[in-house]
A and B are shown apart, each in its own frame.
Chain A
Amino acid sequence: MLRFIGKRLMMGVLVLIGTSMLIFVIARVVPGDVAMIALGARATESAREALREELHLNDPLPVQYVIWLGNVLQGDFGNSFITRRPVADDVRQFFPATLELVFMSGVFIVLGAFSLGMLAGKYKNTWVDGLIRVLSYVGIAFPAFVVGIVLLLIFGHNFQIMPILGRISPGVAPPTHITGFFVLDGILTGNFAAAGNAFLHLLLPSFALALGPLVQSARILRSSLVDNSNKEYMSVSTAAGLPPSLLTRKYLLKPSAGPTITVMGLDFSALLGQAFLVERIFNWPGLSRYGINAMLNKDLNAISAVVLIIGITFFLVNFIVDIIIVFIDPRMRIGRESV
């Protein structure tokens, strides 16, 4: 087991080094005069030259890369061209909001997928199953940003019962900073008013983000459940008189969960991607909104930082998913170790 984890980690580090090269090429080689982009055309030539010197733009590319990577490893991503302060500060400010959003979506996906999937499996080929199937088509067909716009419209305009913008209402002070997750911080510091307010703000954007992956995971769980319930050991166990709840939990759900969890892990990448648009729509002050602004404004240092951090997060999540699956389904261990 440890060998498996170690091997995966080592491979991950190698891939991340490759990723950093790719990001460096995108952000530094492609765009043109970085100093012009950073300072604007009105800056004097000496100001621009100073920036070129600071970014080592006059050095050969490999040297630039090594310097950049060295700085990145020390947590120094350079200064943002837009906010004009260290990108690392920006990331610290914005990342918790995105994590909170994605985490909440994850909760939606796990709860929703398992409850809908089991419901559909239990009542297969009835109207319940049919309804869930239709829902899944809606989830597939409409991109998260469209779902977001629709939710914004319904709840922001037609029924003003839910907060729709940002992380917390303007009149409510954010809770004292501990983790950066407003809901969690609110609970930890006993500031339940802020926690509740932040939680309400969280619901719509995270639901917009979760809908697609949720219904698709539910469908996958449903078909695994149906497949496995046709297997011999199920009928044998039923005949042996095992209680149905135990049967479902231990012998049906466990082997069926594997593929669902794998897909959920992959969905996470889509989630991080879609967050780029959903955060923009809900004015959610997260890393993704920061990232898309950076991209649209060619804020190169910020782009590389955001993409790299998301790459690392993505790797960590897949790593955790792999380990969870290995634990749930020991058969996978052999196959995965040889990868």
Chain B
Amino acid sequence: MKKGRNLIVGLLLAAAILLAACAAPTGGSGGGEATPTDSIIRVGISGTPDLDPAVAMTNSSVVAAANLYDPLVWPTAEGVKPWVAERWIVSDDGLTYVFDIRQGISFHDGTELRASDVAFSMNRKMAMGEGWAYLWEGFVDYAEATGDFEVTFHMLKPFGSFVNSLVRLFIVNEALIMDNLANGPYGEFGDYGRAFLTNNTAGSGAYTFRELVHQDFFEAVRFDDWFMGWDSRPNAPMGFRQLAVPEPATVLMMMNTGLMDKTDQWQSPENLAAMAEMDGISISAISTYTMQNMYLNTQVAPMDCIYFRRAIAFMFDFDTILNDILVDSVKPIGPVPAGIAGAVATSAVDHELDIERARAYLALSQYADTFQDYAIEFLVIADVATAEVVALTFQAVAAELGMNIQIARAPWVSVVDRMGSLETSPHMVSIAAAPGFNDAGTYLETRYHSATTGTWTQGEWLLDPRVDAMIDAAIATVDEAERFALYAQIQHYIVDEFHPTVFLAELTERKAIRDDVVWPLWHDAAPGEIPTALFGFHQIFADMELNR
């Protein structure tokens, strides 16, 4: 008996040691003192960020990038303003850009930001080919430092709004990255610092890396030597914490108990209403030029008939969508969000719920007698509370017309995966897309150019050479007025000739926010007005104030 017990104890001990061995030290999550929680702002967001600005594409990553790194130029409602670059000139043929870099910008490790860092950042982005690199793919040849504080970009072909696009070029610290290379596919550049930047930052931005616990939270603290200075921002948060919180009930409780200051934009209207009733919480509303699209796959029967697609556009209950589901959102005027440079109103403004017109278009369609036989797949992104409600509302209308709509839910990655090829693309899928920067042309390219089929930004599979040629020509036009005229032509052409998309709403992002947080973008807006900012640049924590 005794002996037996000893052996059991021994075995358990052995097991414990084995387990402890599995649990060898992890990076990042070690001890250290916690920042006082009342001096940092805690925001809910989906997922922890990817800290490499050359890769960043997810919600949390794009927001993190704008706060940890400095872009070459900063977006404004009118265009861009100098940031890391002080001034720039472009050659007459539009093939060479020369930027003067501001002196005295310090990276987080204390070294000074120079032209070589800017060139390195662009070349790195192009070599890695992920994230925003697609904006410049085919346009930018290479970048080189032509002085300590002068950088030259060499273009393969002209790109009319190139400077506007550089809000997505975040400057990384070349020396720091080169000191931390791992093995990788980029020759002398190894992995280009890919592995290093999963758990570090190499920027010059207002905040700097503190701690990242994957799928849990990311925390950054103020960078005291930020070149914009903190003197005029005494109440700015000492740090920010992005909380990855999946369950809405969890978000509700965290807001209620003061564990979170601001939610993400995916909360259901019901939850927002519940939070609005809690003490010290308000509901904010801003827009990030994000279009809630209903992609119609133009290559698959019966969706390959334009009359059928027109019918679909009159089966969405816009009143309910804009008032009850995507609350406070705005009726779109066409393919491009209204605030974006080069957007025009098209015939898409006429879309409304009109069963009779839908019926009339169905009758014109080549599938007038057979559309009932088709199962039309409507893909819905799981975890987006409102997407399914839109789908169900549409399905109910479609049922009246005898249309068989099959709703399928899929997590985001599955949706992206399925849209990768025409064979697996659904008939319909509702996806929110936002321009990468303030320009209609590049946005139209990501939405309708044949080169962007197979990506989540184009579920339409338009595959029309004429549209491709029009977009290519427009983007390469250097003169702005001329370029905008071409943009307008494309927008009308796409809507009138193809009608590939139903533009459901220009999304208003509603978030619950605690009253002791000042978010100037929202607080400074006139009552009833919905302020707008480019996505990622809408949450600049250095501009916010904490009054605790």
- A, B co-complexed: yes
Residue ranges of A at the interface with B (Cβ–Cβ < 8 Å)? 32-33, 36-37, 39-44, 46-47, 50, 53-54, 82-85, 89-90, 92-93, 95-96, 99, 149, 152-153, 156-157, 160, 164-166, 170-181, 280-281, 283, 285, 289-290, 293, 296-299, 316, 320, 323-324, 327-328
Residue ID in chain B nearest A254 by CB atoms: B1
Contact partner, B23, options A44, A92, A157, Cβ 8 Å: A92
Residue ID in chain A nearest B4 by CB atoms: A327
Residue ID in chain A nearest B213 by CB atoms: A285
- Interface 9-mer from B111-119, B251-259, B345-353, B532-540: B251-259
- B5-34 contacts to A, CB under 8 A, are 7-8, 11-12, 15, 18-20, 22-34
Contact partner, A173, options B34, B241, B257, B382, Cβ 8 Å: B34
Number of interface residues of B (CB under 8 A): 70
Residues of A contacting B414 in the complex (Cβ-Cβ under 8 angstroms): 296, 298
Ranked 9 nearest A-B pairs via Cβ: A44-B129, A180-B23, A41-B455, A47-B129, A297-B413, A96-B23, A327-B4, A296-B411, A50-B185
In the complex the two chains form, what is the Cα distance from A54 to B185 in whole Å?
Answer: 9
Contact A44–B27 (Cβ < 8 Å): no
B320 CB within 8 Å of chain A: no
Interchain nearest-CB distance for A43 vs B (Å) = 5
Residue ID in chain B nearest A323 by CB atoms: B11
Residue ID in chain A nearest B195 by CB atoms: A85
Residues of A contacting B32 in the complex (Cβ-Cβ under 8 angstroms): 173
Residues of B contacting A153 in the complex (Cβ-Cβ under 8 angstroms): 249
Residues of A contacting B22 in the complex (Cβ-Cβ under 8 angstroms): 92, 95-96
Residues of B contacting A177 in the complex (Cβ-Cβ under 8 angstroms): 25-26, 29-31
- Interface 9-mer from B307-315, B323-331, B356-364, B416-424: B416-424
In the complex the two chains form, what is the Cα distance from A170 to B219 in whole Å?
Answer: 11
Residues of A contacting B11 in the complex (Cβ-Cβ under 8 angstroms): 320, 323-324
6 interchain pairs (CB within 8 A)? A42-B134, A44-B133, A47-B130, A83-B214, A320-B11, A320-B15
Residue ID in chain A nearest B30 by CB atoms: A177
Contact B26–A281 (Cβ < 8 Å): no
Residues of A contacting B199 in the complex (Cβ-Cβ under 8 angstroms): 85
Contact B253–A93 (Cβ < 8 Å): no
User: What sequence of 0s and 1s flags, for each residue 367-411 of chain B, a beta carbon within 8 Å of any chain A beta carbon?
Assistant: 000000000000000100000000000000000000000000001
Residues of A contacting B24 in the complex (Cβ-Cβ under 8 angstroms): 92
Interchain nearest-CB distance for B138 vs A (Å) = 10
Residues of B contacting A157 in the complex (Cβ-Cβ under 8 angstroms): 253, 256
In the complex the two chains form, what is the Cα distance from A100 to B168 in whole Å?
Answer: 43
Contact partner, A170, options B215, B259, B412, B417, Cβ 8 Å: B259
Contact A283–B130 (Cβ < 8 Å): no
- Main secondary structure, interface of B, reads loop
Residue ID in chain B nearest A96 by CB atoms: B23
Interchain nearest-CB distance for A216 vs B (Å) = 23
In the complex the two chains form, what is the Cα distance from A327 to B137 in whole Å?
Answer: 68
Residues of B contacting A281 in the complex (Cβ-Cβ under 8 angstroms): 247
With A172-B34, A316-B15 as known contacts, state yes or no: A44 contacts B8, CB within 8 Å.
no
In the complex the two chains form, what is the Cα distance from A152 to B246 in whole Å?
Answer: 15
Contact partner, B215, options A89, A174, A293, A328, Cβ 8 Å: A293
Contact partner, A85, options B25, B133, B198, Cβ 8 Å: B198
With A84-B55, A172-B34, A320-B15 as known contacts, state yes or no: A42 contacts B198, CB within 8 Å.
no
Contact B30–A176 (Cβ < 8 Å): yes
In the complex the two chains form, what is the Cα distance from A95 to B8 in whole Å?
Answer: 24
B544 CB within 8 Å of chain A: no
B250 CB within 8 Å of chain A: yes
With A156-B253, A280-B247, A296-B411 as known contacts, state yes or no: A180 contacts B26, CB within 8 Å.
yes
In the complex the two chains form, what is the Cα distance from A173 to B454 in whole Å?
Answer: 45
In the complex the two chains form, what is the Cα distance from A171 to B219 in whole Å?
Answer: 13
Interchain nearest-CB distance for B225 vs A (Å) = 26
In the complex the two chains form, what is the Cα distance from A179 to B15 in whole Å?
Answer: 13
With A93-B213, A328-B4 as known contacts, state yes or no: A42 contacts B26, CB within 8 Å.
no
Residues of B contacting A93 in the complex (Cβ-Cβ under 8 angstroms): 26, 28-29, 213-214
Residue ID in chain B nearest A160 by CB atoms: B257
Interchain nearest-CB distance for A56 vs B (Å) = 14
With most chain A CB atoms within 10 A of its CB, the pick from B57, B199, B413 is B413
Contact B245–A283 (Cβ < 8 Å): yes
Contact A152–B4 (Cβ < 8 Å): no
Interchain nearest-CB distance for B316 vs A (Å) = 26
With A42-B455, A83-B215, A180-B26 as known contacts, state yes or no: A327 contacts B31, CB within 8 Å.
no
Contact A173–B31 (Cβ < 8 Å): yes
User: What sequence of 0s and 1s flags, for each residue 40-61 of chain B, a beta carbon within 8 Å of any chain A beta carbon?
Assistant: 0010000110101001010000
In the complex the two chains form, what is the Cα distance from A280 to B417 in whole Å?
Answer: 24
Residue ID in chain A nearest B411 by CB atoms: A296
With A92-B24, A93-B213, A166-B216 as known contacts, state yes or no: A99 contacts B19, CB within 8 Å.
yes
B128 CB within 8 Å of chain A: yes
Contact B198–A176 (Cβ < 8 Å): no
In the complex the two chains form, what is the Cα distance from A285 to B29 in whole Å?
Answer: 12
Residue ID in chain A nearest B37 by CB atoms: A171
Residues of A contacting B213 in the complex (Cβ-Cβ under 8 angstroms): 93, 285
Residues of B contacting A173 in the complex (Cβ-Cβ under 8 angstroms): 31-34
In the complex the two chains form, what is the Cα distance from A96 to B22 in whole Å?
Answer: 8
Residue ID in chain A nearest B40 by CB atoms: A170
In the complex the two chains form, what is the Cα distance from A179 to B273 in whole Å?
Answer: 43
Residue ID in chain B nearest A103 by CB atoms: B19
In the complex the two chains form, what is the Cα distance from A280 to B215 in whole Å?
Answer: 11
Residues of B contacting A290 in the complex (Cβ-Cβ under 8 angstroms): 215
Interchain nearest-CB distance for B202 vs A (Å) = 15
B456 CB within 8 Å of chain A: yes
Interchain nearest-CB distance for B548 vs A (Å) = 14
In the complex the two chains form, what is the Cα distance from A176 to B26 in whole Å?
Answer: 11
In the complex the two chains form, what is the Cα distance from A96 to B18 in whole Å?
Answer: 12
Residue ID in chain A nearest B47 by CB atoms: A82
Residues of B contacting A95 in the complex (Cβ-Cβ under 8 angstroms): 22-23
Residue ID in chain B nearest A90 by CB atoms: B214
Contact partner, A285, options B7, B216, B419, Cβ 8 Å: B216
Residues of A contacting B131 in the complex (Cβ-Cβ under 8 angstroms): 42
Residue ID in chain B nearest A155 by CB atoms: B253
Q: A41-B454, A85-B195, A166-B216 are in contact. List 12 more A-B contacts (CB 8 A).
A: A36-B417, A39-B130, A40-B456, A41-B420, A42-B134, A53-B185, A84-B55, A171-B36, A174-B31, A176-B31, A289-B215, A298-B413
Residue ID in chain B nearest A91 by CB atoms: B22
Residue ID in chain A nearest B241 by CB atoms: A170
